Amino acid sequence: MLIKGLYTVEEFRQTGEGITATVRLNKDHDVFKGHFPGNPVMPGVCMIQMVKELTEKSIGKTLFLNVSTNIKFMAIINPEIHPILNVDLNISEVGEQIKVKNSTSFGNTLALKLNASFTVAD
């Protein structure tokens, strides 16, 4: 995990096309003290890193983000109000690329949609 202690994986389930994970954000993590003081918001770059790490866990390989064709931040994630995130990853291998379609939500609110392509970092 690149940013230790930012989140914990509470559930990790393989599906036919990828994984479904439930993660808990650590509202007391230092990243939220600066982003933003008094009104913590999950940084977008941290969300992308979390998607990468969950994909790596699913396929058992270290990855490098190659291309992101579509990133839509749909809702602000405040870890004090919505500490539990549901992360769905549709993962496919196309040639040398690992393609990921992600949707991340809290409750019934879609927070992130992401399409990305990773290469294996060997």
**Residues found in the chain:** 122
| Residues with catalytic roles | 35
Distance between CA 100 and CA 58 in Å, rounded?
A: 11
| Sign of the dihedral defined by the CA atoms of residues 71, 107, 50, 118, in that order | negative
| Cis before 36? omega within 30 | yes
Sheet strands (E) in 1-122 = 7-14, 18-25, 63-73, 84-94, 97-106, 109-120
Q: Are 118 and 94 in contact (CB under 8 A)?
A: no
